[in-house]
Chain A
């Protein structure tokens, strides 16, 4: 669906040129949900705007939905849907159904095709019955579903979602995730979304590309990213503090560990798969007569992953417009 090589974009600013995206390679196959994850200013939106023909790349090439991005932008536009970041409050006098029809017709659908498509798209995004409602009267969640409906009117095989759930309450977010997932599962559409929410990327994406400073710093499944970078952490409490050091030695012999830390009466073991490692570890300690008082296994969060990859925590609000080099 997407093959991009060396895609880059720089902007002229008062303080000199800024490289928002510094030459990325990116491949997305049909039917995938790919999440572009990174803090604000990482280059996610710039990447998305280049892939949707809204922004000319300064360098690099890309084929999107079978057509060259730079040479055949109109062919690309026919085949993709784009849902921008949530916009300002809509103008008075805009009506849900009319806006969807106008969008479909600008995409080249005939009047009757546009009406037929509206009858399919509106219910699928829980907008059935709201066609004659003013845009200004929609709730935040409805407005976002309307935005997605706009991008789906011409049945594109590839849809880009820019921060689909930013600013929504938790319930609306979970609801929108359901919609996005079922969209792919039922229609097989390929979805590329940007987010700076780790849980969103984790919940939705088959594959995550982590962006930072205009580069893709990691590209893998959420599971693999978590396993590759952080590993699971088993924390054992020992009844006698003096046993901790020998427990560490036993752990190294009994199982494949990545890291062992002894801290007071606690043993902290990092392994690839905690759920599998915990039983043999406990058996080995038991065989040596060491009494264990507590066990916890924690999976790393994508927060940990991001921290490991970039040395910075991924927090909303730590938003520079442009990443420091």
Chain B
């Protein structure tokens, strides 16, 4: 099973590295936010914002956005693979179904890890000063989340089988979830009803944890809670993705 997973991962990375355009493409949106929206927050007060401290609030949000959109659209690729016959070709081998999907999600995780690192490097000259351990562990958390999200995205791709249905679906699910988690502005600024609603959103806890980590506040309750939510959510989505991959034989 490790060999099979690695073979699928290797194939994904090979194709990606020969055509790295979309790795940069995936980075454009968070960098646009960083450059064109981030500076506005320096002048905002409340919720821990204001001055260079704003970057410690804003960059963790962008990391989450990178992971959710980046991994969320992973399923696009599997629709093409389905049409090409790659999926059937791999499904007719004795390789375990879980490794066929896991190898693909690992490709996404590595991509998002690299993109996250680039995003942080770009944020440094803007004035991001944060705990190094906090940044590293935040990237790891976001990568774990990306594993689950991309597995679920592959499953959705197999179910919908059509880019025209897939793109609006992912956009429709991820945008409200991201906004509701307070990626752009902390939810402490939100009116009561919105803040309560955001507590139901698992992504809120992920972003709260990474913000605490960026501050270097490792003992904060948000951290443990956020890590727990991330692992549970990723495991749940990955299990669902694998199950769907197994069943979508039609």
Contact = CB atoms under 8 A, between A and B. Distances in A.
Nearest to B89: A150
Nearest to B81: A91
B88 interface: yes
Given A11-B250, A77-B92, A84-B89, A106 B7 contact: yes
A11 B249 CA distance: 12
Nearest to B79: A88
Task: Please classify how large the interface on chain B is, using the bins under 10, 10 to 19, 20 to 34, 35 or more.
Answer: 20 to 34
Contacts of A106: 4, 7-8, 90, 93, 95
Nearest to A78: B94
A108 B94 CA distance: 8
A84 B88 CA distance: 8
A105 B92 contact: no
Interface string B17-32: 1110000000000000
B249 to A, nearest CB: 5
Interface string A99-119: 100110111100000000000
16 contacts: A55-B250, A77-B94, A78-B94, A82-B92, A84-B88, A84-B89, A85-B85, A88-B83, A88-B85, A92-B18, A93-B14, A102-B10, A102-B11, A105-B3, A106-B4, A106-B93
A74 B94 contact: yes
Nearest to B99: A106
A56 B249 contact: yes
Nearest to A101: B7
Nearest to A52: B92
B15 interface: yes
A51 B16 CA distance: 34
B164 interface: no
A87 interface: yes
A147 B90 contact: no
A24 to B, nearest CB: 19
A21 B10 CA distance: 38
A54 interface: yes
B80 interface: yes
Contacts of B90: 103, 106
A123 interface: no
A97 to B, nearest CB: 12
A139 interface: no
B161 interface: no
Query: Which residue among A98, A105, A150 has the maximum number of chain B CB atoms within 10 Å of its CB?
Result: A105
Interface string A110-147: 00000000000000000000000000000000000001
Interface of B: 3-4, 7-8, 10-11, 14-19, 80-81, 83-86, 88-95, 249-250
A94 B15 contact: yes
Given A87-B83, A88-B80, A54 B15 contact: no
The 9 closest A-B pairs by CB, nearest first: A87-B85, A93-B18, A88-B83, A93-B15, A106-B93, A82-B92, A74-B94, A87-B84, A77-B94
Interface string A69-90: 0000011011010101111111
A87 B85 CA distance: 5
Interface in A23-81: 49, 52-56, 74-75, 77-78, 80
B197 to A, nearest CB: 35
A160 B14 CA distance: 29
A53 B92 contact: yes
A33 B236 CA distance: 46
A82 B250 contact: no
Contact of B19 (A78, A84, A92, A107): A92
Nearest to A110: B3
B88 to A, nearest CB: 5
Contact of A82 (B7, B81, B88): B88
Given A53-B92, A88-B80, 4 more contacts: A82-B92, A88-B84, A90-B84, A91-B84
A102 B85 contact: no
A257 to B, nearest CB: 51
